Amino acid sequence: MTSKIKRIGVLTSGGDAPGMNAAIRAVVRASIYYDLEIFGIYKGYDGLISGNIEQLFVRSVSNILSRGGTFLLSARSQEFRTKEGREKAYENFKKFDLDALVVIGGDGSFTGADIFSEEFDVPVIGIPGTIDNDLAGTDFTIGFDTACNTATEAIDKIRDTASSHERLFFVEVMGRDAGFIAVNSAIGGGAVAMIVPEHSWSIDQLIARLRKGAANQKASNIVIIAEGCQLGNAYAVADQVKEKLDYFDIRVTVLGHLQRGGSPTTMDRVLASRLGVAAIEGLRDGKSKVMVGVVNNHVAYTHIHEAIKTEKKLDPEEFRVAKILSI
């Protein structure tokens, strides 16, 4: 049964991710296709609080499919964390006569959406836009594939100089408390080892792996470090290794925000487009307080609370493959 929703607001919140613009484009075009009015909310929840809102049209989203970042801008709103801030946001929600909200972002953004929906009975659907890929209820989040490709391309370039000088490189990738980027870029970049938050790994184990590589006369060694790993950041791990293997010429590279930028891959553009359309169709069908995702290549709706709180586990098969190939 189709709901009576006629006017929808869309915002991006939290860290930007490649493909967010593609998702916005899909939300706008799908809304217009279904004869709905769509309004862009600038600067995330701060824009909802300040009333920085305007109606969007097909021409509003022309030529943004290939652009990284988000043309609606993004922010982490401290004021929205307060009851008073959310009340201001709801006043503008009513002022613009909005019926529902689409939030593109990660777990922090969805937490805010969940609270806002609960307090003011506002229909909300989330679209997972984060390079971390750490949300349950979807196989992939928007931006993850692009971030993995960016990291792997960087590792390929680092390997050129590592091989030329027979160096050991520690490369730190993003992902916060999740190791999805680290695992995929380690396999894709041919790393000798990877250290991720989800698996305990001692310095002695890493030393043993590096010694084995040296015994096999590896021309270069690259170790991938996820930023939230238990052993510390890439510099801390490199220092500990240097104390025990002083014959290695060691360098450290932190990829940082490089992974959040750039034109989205085809996979991220298609994913964002599918999820944007599904979000609007979900609202028309009366769905609320859910995140739309893709599971086994099929669109799926998961309660926002479940998407946030359920731990998304790394694939053990990928660890097995990485171990076999790191000899």
User: Among residues 289, 287, 280, which one has the least CA distance to residue 10?
Assistant: 280
Which is it for the CA torsion 136, 142, 145, 149, positive or negative? negative
Q: What whole-number distance in Å separates Cα of residue 285 and Cα of residue 229?
A: 42
Q: Are 127 and 275 in contact (CB under 8 A)?
A: yes
Active site residue 97: no
Tokens encoding 85? 């801030």
Angle between helices 144-165 and 266-284 (to 10 degrees): 160
Q: What is the DSSP string of 214-279?
A: HHTT-S-EEEEEETT-TT-SHHHHHHHHHHH-TTS-EEEEE-GGGGG-SPPPHHHHHHHHHHHHHH
DSSP 139: S
Annotated active-site residue in 16, 46, 132, 145: 132
Q: For residue 172, what are the β-bridge partners?
A: 225, 254
> Which helix H or strand E contains 169, and what residues bound it?
strand 168-173
Q: What whole-number distance in Å separates Cα of residue 318 and Cα of residue 316?
A: 5
- Kindly list the catalytic residues: 132
